[in-house]
Amino acid sequence: MLKNKTAIVTGGTRGIGFAVVKKFLENGAKVALFGSRKETVDKALEELSKEGKEYEVMGLYPDLGDPGQVTAAFDEVIGKWGRLDILVNNAGISARDSIYDYKPEDFKNIIDLNLNSVFISSQAAARIMKPQGGGVIINTSSMVSLYGQAAGSGYPASKFAVNGLTRSLARELGKDNIRVNAVAPGVTRTDMVAALPEQVIKPIMDSIPLRRIGEPEEVADAFLFLASDMASYITGEILSVDGAAMS
């Protein structure tokens, strides 16, 4: 579905991001996965090499809050593969701090990575995609962007903002044939969730109409669809992949 396409996936070393990287590679894309540190990037590349397939993949670890480093990393991808068709803004962090204890610097850190880096990377991508004749930007949102959550207000606030940025960029960049959408996952079996004890997981599953949590591969399928030509007339959408759960 993505043959001859080139993609960048931020936060691509684990969890949903890594599942997206694998899904894109399996569907013929060339992928640059971005991580926060060299060690995590190398580990992800090593794991992909064990697949025994001739994937075209590279790894980089720019500071996503630094426009200069982001531009340099994007230029490195262009230097290797000549174009950029898809950007997935997946890097992010969360927290569950009470408003009574929330440190302003911790709130700022979440906004910096979850929102500001999305703007910086999207701007860099758009400047590349427009002269090419178009492209696709997909942002990772969250179910809590729609419902909020009972603590850790910085995370849902950042994802509410990602939704607004997604819809605004879709309207602004449509004339340049750049589609911009977001995927809003629900509770997904990442490493963090998988480590939770049964007594914590069961009530969560019982609250979801499908009676189970999502798998990273299921969320990655949504990214694949939105990145592909099957979604060629879809832009400005926030696609929920949450089993109809409500936070």
Does 200 reside within a domain? no
Alpha helices (H) in 5-139, listed in sequence order:
15-26, 38-49, 67-81, 104-111, 117-132
CA-nearest of 246, 224, 220, 226 to 238 is 226
CATH assignment at residue 57: 3.40.50.720
- 59 phi and psi, to 5 degrees? -130, 140
Host domain of residue 178: 6-188+215-241
Does 135 reside within a domain? yes
Active site residues per annotation: 155
Does 195 reside within a domain? no
Does 33 reside within a domain? yes
Does 194 reside within a domain? no
Q: How many domains is the chain built from?
A: 1
| Digit-coded pLDDT (tens) for 48-103 | 999 878 899 999 999 999 999 999 999 999 999 999 999 999 999 988 899 999 99
User: Taken in order 165, 218, 222, 39, is the CA torsion positive or negative?
Assistant: positive
- Are residues 12 and 35 in contact, defined by beta-carbon separation less than 8 angstroms? yes
Residues in CB range of 224: below 8 A, 6 or more apart: 1, 2, 20, 23, 24, 27
pLDDT band at 181 (very low <50, low <70, confident <90, very high): very high
Report the predicted TM-score, pTM, of the whole model to 2 decimal places.
0.95
| Digit-coded pLDDT (tens) for 197-225 | 777 788 888 889 998 999 999 999 999 99
pLDDT for 208 equals 92
User: Taken in order 75, 81, 86, 91, is the CA torsion positive or negative?
Assistant: negative
Edge to edge, the sheet with strand 238-241 lists 57-60, 30-34, 6-10, 86-89, 135-140, 178-185, 238-241
- 181 phi and psi, to 5 degrees? -135, 175
pLDDT exceeds 70 at position 195: no
